[in-house]
Each structure stands twice: as structure tokens, then as C-alpha cells.
Structure 1
Amino acid sequence: MTTTHTADLWPRLLPPCATADDPRAAVRLFDGVKGADGPWRPVRPLLVGADTYRDLVRLSRRAAELVLSAARRRADTARDLLAALGSRPEDYPLLDPGDPVEDRLLTAVRPDILMEGGVARFVELNVDGALGGVLQADLLSGRFLDRYRRCGLASRLGLSAAPSAVRARAEALRTFLGLRRDAAAPVLMPHFTGGHLPGLDDCARFADWLAPVFRHARDHGMRMFTHPLTALTTAPDGTLLAGGRAVGAVFRTFVSHGEPPSAGLTALRRALDAGAVRMFTPESTMLLTNKITLAWLWDDLDLLDPADRRLVETHVPRTVRLRPVDRDTLGLAVRDRAGWVLKPANGFGGSGVVVGAAAADADWRTALDHAARQGGHVLQRYVDADRTAMRFVRTADGEVADAEVPYVLGPFLYGLRGSGLLVRHGTPAAADVLNAGRGAAMNTALLAGG
């Protein structure tokens, strides 16, 4: 673990503890940002070179295209892809089995990238319209950039924000749903209950948090509104109804298998089956997030041209589908515990991830045996993530602490074009898995150097 090659330019451009203001004032910029409201808040964003950001977007775009190609070699439809992945149909209650595996599935992408010795490593490739962190990244980059402009730091370092992910998503949403910009088309964003967003327990607070999203939707000719997912109904002809209001377009920001079964979820499925509603994005996009697709890239190396083969070997940690009959892989993982991470192939939020280096021998063997019997897991080579020096303030008492922490970079791609940049990083109290649900802090990055 090293800070020598960190992609975060702050320690090279400024003292690690330097901020544009008192640290206790700086952390207030995280007020109201879900995922950044833990016991320790950072006092600054990361600074990433503009050229580095463009390289990450380029690599992300090609990695997504390679994953789609690997899927298309195995499946023509969502039904085929579900079978190839060995996934359970009940995990995708809104899935159209006949949905074709085609380019439009890559309309929304956000990888999880660890840097190792300055080299980008794609540990996950998230594909779905419900990608998390879009608004958080936009809000934080705007707040920090405004502060640094006022103190002169922005002009001194040539700082800018990545293009707005909220704006890019609104354009992708309108295009994907086939809505005219001048139509003022109503679009429902269902209020759901499972996740980490503000207001999941209150529909009005949910709408307040999403005000910037609704504003960008209006700018793109959509009248977005929210209504409880559980209260959706359908008319006899399959038309979806939200409080009696007919709905023809839905922006799905929830993971359906993370929601409890409800009459509203069934109503949405009924409307989709009837062709009465269009949804951004269909659940077929989520199938590409399955980490088995990264294992397919390694399985297919001989089918790739030299440039793509180098991309996989350099930027995608070796990923292997774990099968109970593959005793060689299991034996290797037992002998080289510190070199592997065990992951649920279809998991999210860091749930079920076991880092071999952090596990006792007996616990590691038990986890491997259970995962092999259960199925639906991958082994991925451990990435010795670069770290960066950060300063934090503990919200309970204002204590200031410095720590060298690992970080994940997540550039958003809508229509395979780069927009915002989400960052998750460790804190003085965070666990080994960099997820907001496991103590990591959600942050953003500003671009340096034009």
C-alpha cells in the first residue's frame, strides 16, 4: 500500500493537511449528502489530473464494450444471459426475458476503479440506470469548486469539475425513453425504501433531496415526479397508475430485488409486460453488472485483439468463476489466501465480500467452501490499493485526525460519454471494503490542469 503513485494530486500540489478554510467549516460542505454523513468527514475532495480522468473514461468505455461483447458471445436475449450467468430469475422481478443483448444496455455505466502503483484496476463494472452517487458527486464537486474559487485555489491550480452527471443522465434518460425535448412528458421516479438515499422513509423529503434531478429533467423536457412504489396500481388495460395518474415512462432508481414484494412492484411488472410503460433502464442492464462477466474477459483472452488483451491483463484483476468441481482453483485460493478476494457475483453494497488477507485461515476456507457449494461467486486477485493522505473531522466532537486511506474512483458514463466522478475512500474507522454501507466516506474529485 503506497501513497507514492496515488492518482490524488493534492499531496503533491499542497500540504496533505491544507484546506481552503478551517477544517470544521470545510466538512459542512458534506451536510445533507447521504453516504458522507458518517462519524468521520473528510475536509477536501480528491484532485485528479484532467488527463488522468480522460484516460479513466476511455478505459471504462472500452471495458464496458468488451463486457458486452463477452455477453453477446454467450447470449442473444436476457433469458439466455440469465442462464449463462447462473442467476436466479427471482432476483430480477421486472426482467423481460426477451430483451435483446444489444448496445443500448450500456447507456449507464460506472466502474469501481482501484489504483495500484498508479495503474487503474477495474474491480467492478456497474451497469444500470440506478447507479448510486450521481447527485452526491455533483453536489460535492460544485460546493468545493465554489469554495476554492472564492479563496483563489481554483485559479491557482486550474481546477474544474467533471461534466455534470445529473445533466448527462437526464439527457440519456430522455433519449433512451424516446421522449421529445419539447413534449414536457411526465416521468415517474418511484419512491422506494431499500438503500442509502435521504428520505426513503418520507416521500416529501425524498422529493426535496431530488430537486436538482427534477430541475435537470425539466431542462430536458420532462416533468419528473415521485410516488410510492408500493402504491402503484394498474388499469384494466395495463396502464400504470400513480395515485390515479397515468404513467408512460418510469425512471427506476431502485434495485428491485432489494425491495420487499408489494402490490406496487407487481403493478409495475404488469404494466411492463403489457407494453404500457417504458423504463430507464430495463433490468437486463443489471445482468452485465454480474462479476462473472469480468471472468469471461479472462476466459476469452485468446479471442481478443492484442490491444484489448493488454487492456484486460493490465486493468482487470484476474477474476475466476468459483465452481464446486474446480478443485484446482479452490486449492490455489486456500494456498494463496492473501492474493484473493471472494465476492458474490451478483452482490452490491460490499455485502458478502471476504478479503483473504484480512481473514483467518479457517474462516477463509469456510467461506470458500460455502461459496463453492452455494454458487454465484467469483474469486478476484487482490489489489494492493494506492492510498492518499487525508484529513478528517469527527462530527461528534470536532476532533481532527490524519490518515492514509485507500480510495475507489467511479467515473460515470452515460451513452459511453464521461461525466461526474464519484469517490469512495477509507476513514480513520473504515473497514477493508470501500463501501458507504461499511463505513467508507462518499466524496468526489475535482480535475486539475484542464
Structure 2
Amino acid sequence: MTAAATDLAARFAAAHPGYAKVRPAPEPVEVSADVAGAMWDTTRNTVELLRVRALDALGCYPAGEAEWLRGMADPDTLRLCTTFARADFVLGPDGPRLVEVNVGPTIGGMGILDRYAEVLGHDDLPRPVRVWARALRALAGRERPDVVFVAADEETGVPHPYETAHFLAAEGIEARVERTAWRGQADLVYGCFTYDQVAGPPYRDFVERAMATYPVYVAPPAFTLPGNKTLLAGIDDELVARTWVAQGAMLAEAARHPERYVLKPAVGYGGRGVVIGAKSRPAVWDAALDGVRDDDHRWVLQSYVPPHPVTMSTSDGPVAHEIGLGCIFVAGEPGGLLFRQVPVGSAGTANVARGALFGGARVVAA
């Protein structure tokens, strides 16, 4: 590692030790204003469509869970669930294509993008916490709300909630990070855990108490409905990758042409359970398809978007990378672009939790 790269990593680690696992890229990527605008339009339209379609996803859950979710899926709650979202795009040969939308619980990109802009010293990089601050004030109905991020008990080393709280302070909002045992008071509580965690204790106990106790509880379990990938099926937008429920004829088609498809769980996070046909051995792909034939409402097949290589600077010199772009959506406003990069040929997906480098994308004139 070069001295410059070592210094960059050290400056992030000094802010939070979790950056040892969430690695900053040494330079931002540039996205033209036209492309960024198209991504934003697609993100806004898709988030709204997912909110409207959310109840269609109930069939993907066991009966008991479906009824639990239906009981909280009123219009106001679904609107709250889709206040904060991130649409993930793969940069392919024909430009970016939306491949999934993370709704509600994710604060990935919040705080760490503000830190990225601060450490690199670039005024033209996204500072999403500024947009967040406006949205939190509106939700809480106060200029200086008391905000609590309740983080997963096993994720004490993740920097995102701590960094978000840190940068909110600069916007005049008192925010702190607590665990599920917390029973204090706050104007707004934000649950930083995913549906697979919420489905069981201690998280289910916490969120049910939070929904009954706090004036505003962001990201109740109903967030999983608009975030369900089956809702992407049938969306007619040239920037959205074609998506199908993994069943019947589509499974047979995917078995014949693995290079064309990606298999994903309908409810999933951090790249877990994703199988890319073009990058898998035939036996692995066939086994993955066989595993969903009796569970065909909980998986989707999506058109494979071959990543377009982009040469980026690294401590080892210029290296071709695959780029993923996250378009951050905050209460109807664009919050900036998060990018993830992995060297061309890497296994799996460009996911920060799996070792990808992250950074903020700079929007430049077309």
C-alpha cells in the first residue's frame, strides 16, 4: 500500500475503527449530470411505484408473518417506510441499470459519504446528512428533534449509525446510537436492522414496543414490503433490469441460459443468497435453481447486467473495476450517489459488506 493510501485509511480509522472493514476508495468516480438525472428520475418513480404496489408482496411471506405485516401496512406507514431508500444500479455497457431498491432500514451511505467528502476535502461530493436533517425535522415536527438510532446488538463495529449521528450534530440535531435494551425517550427513533433480524427476538420485541411508544418510529417491519424484489417484476423503465418471479417457465429458461440471469432472494440484504449465472459453475447454478423450485414465491430472476469496466487508481496503480452506484432517496429529494467498486473478475457482487471499496460520486457537466 502506498503512503497516500495508508494515510487515507488511517484518517478514516481515526474517525471510527469500523472503517477497517469498510474501505474508502482513493478517488471519487465521476457521473455525468444527464446520467445522474436519469438515475434519480428512475429511483423516484420506482420508489413511488413500490409503495403503491407494496401489499402485492404479502404472498411472499408465511401466513402468520403476512398477517403481522398486513396489520401495520396502512398508507401512512408505507409512506414512512419509503421516506428513506437507496436504489442500487450496476454500471453496464449501456449505462446504469437499477437492480434493487433498499427501503427503510438502511442508512448505508449516510454519514460515511459525509466523512468521505470531509476526508478527501472535496466540496462537490455528496453530503447526504444535510438532506436527512431536513427530512428528520419534518417527520418529528421540530427544528431540533432528539433522534435515536437503534442499532443491531451484534453490529457494534459498523460505523454508519455513529457517523450519521456525528454529522447530524453539525446540522443542529442531537442524535445518538442505542441498542435494543434502550427504553429512553426521543422525538424520533430509527431502527437500523433488517427484516430477517426483526422477524425474531430481540428485534421483534423492540420494534413492537417502539411502534407503540415513540411519536415517530422509522422503518417498522412493513418496510420489507416495498423492498421486496418481486415488486420489480413488470416495471417498464429502460433503466430497470428486467425481473421475474422465479417459477415455472422462467426457471426452465434460466436453466438453459445461466449467462443471462441472476438469482436473488425476494427479501435479502448485503448480497446474501445472490447467485450470478455468468459467474457460477454449472453445478452451482443448477443446484441454486433446484433449491427454489418448491419455494418459487420467495426468489426472483433478473437479467444479468454485465459490468462495464472502469479504470480506477489504486495503491497498486491503475486497475479496471466493476462499479455499483447507489442513488440515495430522502423524502422525495436526491441525497447523492454512493459508489462501490471491486476489481474486474471478482466473485460475487460489489457490496461494501463483502470488501468492496466505497466512495461518493461526483456529478459533472455532460
Taking structure 2 as the reference length, what is the TM-score of the superposition? 0.85
Partner of 2:177: 226
Distance 1:271 1:22 in 2: 45
Whether the 8 Å CA contact 2:340–2:352 is kept in 1: the answer is yes
1:292 has 2:230 as partner = yes
Residue 249 of structure 1 corresponds to 188
**Which residue number in structure 2 is paired with residue 321 of structure 1?**
245
Task: Write the distance in 1 (CA, Å) between the matches of 2:358 and 2:195.
Answer: 23
Distance of aligned partners of 1:275 and 1:33 in 2 relative to their CA distance in 1, 3 Å threshold: closer
Aligned to 1:371: 292
| Structure 2 Cα separation of the partners of residues 210 and 58 of structure 1 | 25
1:180 aligns with 2:154: no
Is the 2:111–2:165 contact (alpha carbons within 8 Å) kept by the matching residues of 1?
A: no
- 1:9 equivalent in structure 2: none
Q: CA RMSD in A?
A: 3.3
Partner of 2:169: 215
Distance 1:321 1:331, change over 3 A: same
Q: 2:124 aligns with which of 152, 160, 169?
A: 160
The 1-side partners of 2:280 and 2:202 are apart by 42
Partners in 2 of 1:125 and 1:264 — Cα distance? 22
Q: Find the residue that maps to 1:357 and give its secondary structure.
A: helix
Q: Is the 8 A contact 2:90 2:98 kept in 1?
A: yes
Do the aligned partners of residues 374 and 35 (structure 1) sit closer, same or farther apart at CA in structure 2, a change above 3 Å counting? farther
Q: Contact conserved, 2:97 with 2:305, CA < 8 A, in 1?
A: yes
2:349 is the alignment partner of 1:410: no
CA contact (8 A) 1:424 1:440 kept: yes
Tell me the secondary structure at the aligned position of residue 100 of structure 2. Answer: strand
Counterpart in the other structure of 1:58:
41
Are 1:41 and 1:392, in contact at CA under 8 Å, matched by a contact in 2?
no
Aligned pair in 2 of structure 1 residues 44, 403: CA closer, same or farther (>3 Å)?
same
* Deviation, structure 1 residue 264: 7.0
Residue in structure 2 matched with residue 131 of structure 1 by the alignment:
107
Q: Give the structure 2 partner of residue 6 of structure 1.
A: none
Cα distance, 1:70–1:192 mapped onto 2, change above 3 Å: closer
Whole-angstrom distance in 1 between the partners of 2:106 and 2:66: 14
1:392-421: CA deviations, max 9, x gaps?
23xxxxxx2432111111121111211221
- Residues in 2 aligned to 1:344 and 1:161: alpha-carbon distance in whole angstroms: 33
Match of 1:336 in 2: 257
1:123–1:199 Cα change, 3 Å: closer
Alpha-carbon deviations, 1:359-404, whole Å to 9, x = none? 12222111101022233100101001112112223xxxxxx24321
Whether the 8 Å contact between 2:18 and 2:159 is mirrored in structure 1 is: no
Q: CA deviation at 1:110?
A: 0.9
Q: Which runs of 5+ in 2 are unaligned?
A: none
What pairs with 1:256-275 in structure 2 (closer than 5 Å)? Answer: 256-258=195-197, 261-262=200-201, 265-272=204-211, 274=212
Shift in Å, 1:353: 0.6
Checking the alignment, whether the CA contact within 8 Å between 2:322 and 2:344 is kept in structure 1 is no
Residue 83 in 1 paired to residue 52 in 2? no
Moved over 6 A (4+): 89-94
SS in 2 for 1:226: strand
Same amino acid, percent of matched pairs: 24
Letter in 2 for 1:176: L
Question: Distance in 1 between the 2:219 and 2:124 partners?
Answer: 30
Instruction: Give the match for residue 270 of structure 2.
Output: 349
Unaligned runs of 5+ in 1: 1-18, 76-80, 147-158, 201-205, 233-240, 298-308, 394-399
Quick one: which amino acid aligns to residue 349 of structure 1?
G
Contact conserved, 1:290 with 1:346, CA < 8 A, in 2? yes
1:97 to 71, 86, 89: 71
Distance (Å, rounded) in 2 between the aligned partners of 1:406 and 1:213:
30
Aligned to 1:45: 28
Report the alpha carbon displacement of residue 286 of structure 1 after superposing the two structures with TM: 3.0
Q: 1-side partners of 2:46 and 2:210: how far apart? A: 34
1:448 aligns with 2:349: no
Instruction: Name the residue aligned to 2:85.
Output: 109
Shift of the 215–41 alpha-carbon distance from structure 1 to 2, 3 Å rule, reads: closer
For 1:266, give the aligned amino acid.
Answer: D
Task: Tell me if structure 1 keeps the 8 A contact 2:262–2:303.
Answer: yes
Tell me which of 376, 385, 392 is aligned to 2:307. Answer: 385
Task: Please state whether the residue corresponding to 2:96 is helix, strand or coil.
Answer: strand
